[in-house]
Amino acid sequence: MLLVPCPNCGPRNASDLRYVGEAGPRPDPNTATEAEWRSYLYIEDNPAGLLRETWYCRAGCRRYFVAERDTTSNEFVNSPLPGNKIGGKA
Amino acid sequence: MTANRLPAQPGEYIDRSKPISFTWNGEPIQGFEGDTIASALTANGVRVVARSMKYHRPRGYLTNDFWDPNSFVQVGDDPNVRSAHRLAEANMAVEAQNVWPSLERDIRAANGLVSRFLTAGFYYKTFIKPQRLWPAYAKVLSTFAPGGTVDLDTPHRYHDKRYAHPDVVVAGGGPAGMAAALAAADEGASVMLVEHGHQLGGHLLWGDVNDRMLADELRSRVESHDGIEVLLDSTVTGRYDDNWTAIVQRSHPIAVERLIKARAKMLVVAAGLIERPYVFAGNDKPGVMTSGAVRRFVNMYAARPGTRAVVFTSNDDGDAAAEDLARVGIELARVVDARTGGNIVAAKGGAKSVEGVELADGSTVDCDLLVTAVGWTAPTSLLNMSGDRPVYDELAARFFPSRDIDTVLTTGGMAGDGSHEELVAHATATGRLAAGRAAVTTHRLQAATARAAAVSGAEPAWPSDDRSALPRHPQRELFRSTTHGIVDYSEDVGSKDLVAAAKEGYDSVELLKRYTTATMGPSQGKLETVNTVAVLAEARGETIEEVGTTVWRPPYAPITLGALGGRVFEPVRVSSIQPWHEANGVTTILAGQWIRPEHYGDPAAEVRNTRENVGITDVTPLGKLDLQGPDVPKLLSQLYTNKWMKLGVGNVRYGIMCAEDGVVLDDGVTGRLGDEHYLMTTTSSGAGAIWEWAENWLQTEHPEWQVHVTPVTTGFTSINVAGPKSRELVSRLVDDVDLSPEAFAYMQVRTGTVAGVPNCFMWRIGFTGELSFELHVPSGHGLHVWESLLEAGADLGVKAFGLEAQRIMRLEKGHFIVGQDTDGLTKAPSTGMGALIKLDKDDFAGKPELEWALQDQSLPHVVAIQTTDPRIVPEEASQIVRAGTNEILGRITSSRMSPTLNRSICLGQVAPEVAAAGSELTVVLTTGERITARVMEHHAHFDPEGERLRG
């Protein structure tokens, strides 16, 4: 099981967190086309390499945060403190 | 009976002062404490212990250890017990399994006579057609399946689970594992030393006096070291991301089996080597054994495995086996030395015992014990699971790790050979390296948790691996003789089968494995993988390296389902009223984490009493979120589809929440308690998710909003008081709130004192359709208020009602339940609540999808349905079809017999073309019978105008 580096709680078992999804901006709900909105809902980049993704520390500090993970090695390279505006997908 | 028990051996592990007896197929067996079942049986002269899986050939012990493929027995109600591993206990009832009618006379051995028809792929080829007969085939074939008997009445026994955070996990308690553990612990690391067998010592246990001295010395140091936790009869069975290791602990004082999930900062793999069987004609006759098997029988258990032996040796261990046999007086008929060109060709004799062996020089030697020592298999499973792909070395005729992994180190036989001194030195360096790297990881973990604890000092340097490599001893590549024999004993797959399969085109090792099932039995490749690869390489005319191996996956050793299920750490929740429920004949129902009252004997009577008089029900699991701050209305507007900016203090509003895809997520009411204070209610099952959902919006999209969300679901006991006499009842317990319909109207909320308990919230809402008051009482006083209501309302006929009565009444009122009447595709307009979707709001969750959904004429509708025959209640999920066809137009989502209307009532989802009031529907019952039903005008079957509710 992955150890996920929560910026508040430190590294914790992935089962302590909820994986929210790839991080990305939420389109403007008043101007988004169907294609843009559905891409936001369903389409993931799924790169082999660095990926920014949102986690929720549900059994710890209960903060949403973005972490950067290398999908080829499962190594986390960056998980800044929460507070930055990030994707609102759940 | 124990004629085959040898005189006391210097390294024996049996306690001759403690004799025990047990039965084998009903016959008495004498043994000693410390015996395995196998050693006791062997000391009692038992040679045939099992029948093979496919051909039912008699089998005896082959490797005499955990992996022995022929060792499976039934012990009492415990099937598939590994008899060469399980210790004998007094009064055990041990029986052969997979035999019929008996081990001695197994009539399915006739399979062997037709073995040329039972070749690889036999089942695939034979039973494929006609397909309709497959159930019949399966029935017959299942009687041929191997394995013991499961007793379905076996009492449930305790299995345990444990979480551990050691610095270093050492897999393997042989000399290398012990030395590595000691070195790591000496450096201050906390070490978990995991040994597969019942004693520490590994291969030293069945060795000579020098081996035993080293084992004793290391063992006594390990046992007296505070930094090492020793787990015996335990296996590191899996390694996952970030050294998450699964350890199965078979011997535990109170649990049948325990699963330990250990997050190891470092994993040291010292799993040793497994002796490989040799492939030749007759190699599965009882009496053919590996050198390790006979040395364990003789040296550890003083059990005589035969009387006249031929030893086929290619290494020191084979030589040592010959010496051990000679020492205890077993006649050595011949030692055949592969290093000088000797070879064995075929084991001769009847099915039940080897009687002689044909040598490559043409001679035949009589014997009842044939010992082979042809080399080793490195059980690299944990390395494979760590991402390594071990490589084959022809010189040593086995696989070695291909690369270094930062957090996984290898030592012992898997890393190389060498003298005791060399092995211990390598392992000691490995242990020290592991401790050094674990210290760095510890520092990094602390630094990453900087908010919780300050980190002391600078990060230590990452220790580089400067261990000198262990030497590799030459070992002749001996896999198969000039004849064909069994490769996979568990699955009864022979080298001839493998060659034939390769000729048929299954010549990739992964395909070959699946086609022939070689390596797929209980030994899981520990004994047979390399021989399989070698036979395939020969058939393809290639090298082992070119053919490659199959990938070893977890588990390394089997885990019982009990241990995997193990202890459940998830708590159950009950309300403060639970003691009253239990004292009053409740039938409970498990709903999520909650144990809820389903009914108290007669839900229909509970409904009637509530509709006629007054009822009270415990709705504590109802989700409750306390919202405070100036921006709460903005949050509510974002979450709900309707408008919230102008909700007055003391008022309550209903709303639906949708996800960003427009699908209904939850529904409920929110009331405004004060200027900047709101209380949101969610469905019972949605309480947790909606809290996270609200936090998601606050933390990610609108961090500028000032709102504090506090879940208070369990802080309050919630009681719904419903029925025409509910106002009268509540007024008897409340003095400080005016309950008159004018002062406290439907969809309002008040704060007051109930039965002397201050700070209770009172809501005029209700799911039941009756005049009702929902009371949220600080949970410590919940039971008091409940009992006060029952006491105060005795003359009004107040009675408790459960979840079932509540569900009937809500169905009578046509209220849908999110997740029952809606599903993962139901968008808000389908619920008939389109009017609550306010597209003129700037933003809310799911807005674009809902805008499109409102224009979409193809969405299904949630509608109320009544059957033509009022007595028929279609089961929930019954399909609604187009008359005369099987075309599905919808389904029944809720159905009950209504005690109020005395007829069947339903909610369902139907296609728009049949959603209009009065549409006739065809419902297919679970019996297959078709009935007719009608779509109703209103969702509510009862009091559609809501007059009772507003009273």
B695 vs A74: CB contact, 8 Å cut-off?
Answer: no
**What is the spatial distance between Cα B106 and Cα B96, in angstroms, rounded to a whole number?**
11
A11 vs B701: CB contact, 8 Å cut-off?
Answer: no
Residue B330's CB is within 10 A of a number of other CB atoms, namely: 22
Shortest CA distance from B447: residue in chain A: A10
- The residues of B whose Cβ lies within 8 A of any Cβ of A are 240-242, 244, 263, 445-446, 448-452, 659-661, 692-693, 695-697, 699-701, 703, 842-844, 847-849, 852
Instruction: Please state the length of chain B.
Output: 951
Q: Which residues, 6+ apart, have CB-to-CB distance to B133 below 8 Å? A: B127
Residue type at B291 in one-letter notation? S
**What is the spatial distance between Cα A28 and Cα B638, in angstroms, rounded to a whole number?**
14
**Considering all CA atoms of chain B, what is the largest pairwise distance in Å, rounded to the nearest integer?**
113
First-residue to last-residue Cα distance in chain A? 22
Kindly state the helix (H) or strand (E) to which residue B599 belongs, with its residue range: strand B594-599
Q: Is residue A87 part of a domain?
A: no
SS3 B851: helix
Instruction: Check CB contact of A49 with chain B, cutoff 8 Å.
Output: no
Cα four-point dihedral sign B169, B175, B180, B185: positive
Q: Is residue A10 part of a domain?
A: yes
DSSP B438: H
A3 vs B241: CB contact, 8 Å cut-off?
Answer: yes
Instruction: Check CB contact of A48 with chain B, cutoff 8 Å.
Output: no
Residue B510 CA from chain centroid, whole number: 26
Spell out which residues of chain A touch residue B696, defining contact as CB-CB under 8 Å.
20, 56, 64, 88, 90
Q: Is the pLDDT confidence value at A81 over 90?
A: no
How many domains would you assign to chain A?
1
Strands B623-628 and B708-711: antiparallel
Integer CA distances (angstroms), B466 to A50, B53, B268, B404, B435, in order? 32, 48, 16, 12, 14
B374: left (phi over 0), alpha (psi -120 to 50) or beta: alpha
Averaged pLDDT in 10-residue chunks for chain B of 951 residues: 88 96 96 98 95 88 96 92 96 88 69 59 65 72 71 85 96 98 98 97 97 98 98 97 96 91 97 97 97 98 97 97 97 97 95 94 96 97 94 96 93 96 98 97 82 75 93 96 96 94 93 91 90 95 90 89 84 94 96 94 97 97 97 98 97 97 96 98 94 95 96 97 97 96 96 97 93 96 98 97 97 95 96 93 96 95 97 97 96 97 97 96 96 96 87 73
B696 vs A90: CB contact, 8 Å cut-off?
Answer: yes
Residue A36 belongs to domain spanning: 3-78
Asked whether the bond before A29 is cis by omega within 30 degrees of 0, the reply is: no
Size of interface A-B (CB pairs under 8 A): 79
Q: Token pair of B38, please?
A: 């196998």
DSSP B365: E
Helix locations, B380-478, DSSP H? 381-385, 420-448
Tell me how close the Cα of B625 comes to any Cα of chain A, in angstroms. Answer: 15
Q: Token pair of B660, please?
A: 């960003």
Q: Which residues, 6+ apart, have CB-to-CB distance to B105 below 8 Å? A: none
Among B747, B773, B842, B507, residue whose Cα is nearest residue B614:
B773
Tell me how close the Cα of B706 comes to any Cα of chain A, in angstroms. Answer: 14
Strands B72-75 and B78-82: antiparallel
**What is the spatial distance between Cα B29 and Cα B39, in angstroms, rounded to a whole number?**
11
Q: Is residue A88 part of a domain?
A: no
For residue A37, give the nearest of B240, B703, B848 by CB distance: B848
Integer CA distances (angstroms), B349 to B282, B485, B785, B843, in order? 9, 15, 86, 86
Q: Which residue has the tokens 């049948």?
A: B256
A10 vs B452: CB contact, 8 Å cut-off?
Answer: yes
B660 vs A10: CB contact, 8 Å cut-off?
Answer: no
Among B203, B221, B204, B371, residue whose Cα is nearest residue B273:
B203
**What is the spatial distance between Cα B86 and Cα B65, in angstroms, rounded to a whole number?**
9
Q: Is residue A62 part of a domain?
A: yes
Strands B191-194 and B168-171: parallel
Integer CA distances (angstroms), B63 to B98, B299, B380, in order? 20, 14, 19
Side-chain half-sphere CA neighbours of B253 within 13 A: 0
Residue type at B634 in one-letter notation? K
Q: How confident is the model at residue A86 (pLDDT cuts 50, 70, 90)?
A: very low
Residue type at A80 in one-letter notation? P
Domains of chain B: 15-124 (3.10.20.440), 160-273+380-448 (3.50.50.60), 479-564 (1.10.10), 587-810 (3.30.1360.120), 856-951 (2.40.30.110)
Q: Token pair of B339, please?
A: 């290093």
Kindly state the helix (H) or strand (E) to which residue B512 belongs, with its residue range: helix B509-516
**What is the spatial distance between Cα B672 and Cα B683, in angstroms, rounded to a whole number?**
18
Q: Is residue A90 part of a domain?
A: no
Cα four-point dihedral sign B146, B149, B152, B155: negative
Shortest CA distance from B840: residue in chain A: A30
What one-character-per-residue DSSP string does B47-76 give?
---EE-TTT--EE--SS-STT-TT-EEEET
Q: Is residue A69 part of a domain?
A: yes
B701 vs A85: CB contact, 8 Å cut-off?
Answer: yes
A1 vs B242: CB contact, 8 Å cut-off?
Answer: yes
**What is the spatial distance between Cα B690 and Cα B912, in angstroms, rounded to a whole number?**
30
**What is the spatial distance between Cα B718 and Cα B622, in angstroms, rounded to a whole number?**
7
Kindly state the helix (H) or strand (E) to which residue B822 belongs, with its residue range: none
Q: Is the pLDDT confidence value at A89 over 50?
A: no
Q: Which residues, 6+ apart, have CB-to-CB distance to B508 below 8 Å? A: none
Q: Is residue A49 part of a domain?
A: yes
A64 vs B700: CB contact, 8 Å cut-off?
Answer: yes
CATH number for the domain spanning A43: value is 3.30.2270.10
- Preferred mutation among A34, A41, A72 to probe B, highest tally of B CBs within 10 A: A41
DSSP B552: P
Tell me how close the Cα of B697 comes to any Cα of chain A, in angstroms. Answer: 7
**What is the spatial distance between Cα B860 and Cα B826, in angstroms, rounded to a whole number?**
8
8 A C-beta contact, residue B641 and residue B658: yes
Shortest CA distance from B265: residue in chain A: A3
Residue B679's CB is within 10 A of a number of other CB atoms, namely: 22
Q: How confident is the model at residue A90 (pLDDT cuts 50, 70, 90)?
A: very low
Spell out which residues of chain A touch residue B450, defining contact as CB-CB under 8 Å.
10
Per-residue pLDDT at B152: 84
Cα four-point dihedral sign B399, B403, B408, B413: positive
Per-residue pLDDT at B567: 80
- Preferred mutation among B666, B698, B700 to probe A, highest tally of A CBs within 10 A: B700
Tell me how close the Cα of A12 comes to any Cα of chain B, in angstroms. Answer: 10
8 A C-beta contact, residue B242 and residue A3: yes
Residue B111, classified by CB atoms within 10 Å of its CB into exposed (0-12), middle (13-18) or buried (19+), is: buried
Tell me how close the Cα of B268 comes to any Cα of chain A, in angstroms. Answer: 18
Is the ipTM of this structure higher than 0.95?
A: no
- pTM, to two decimals: 0.88
Q: Is residue A86 part of a domain?
A: no
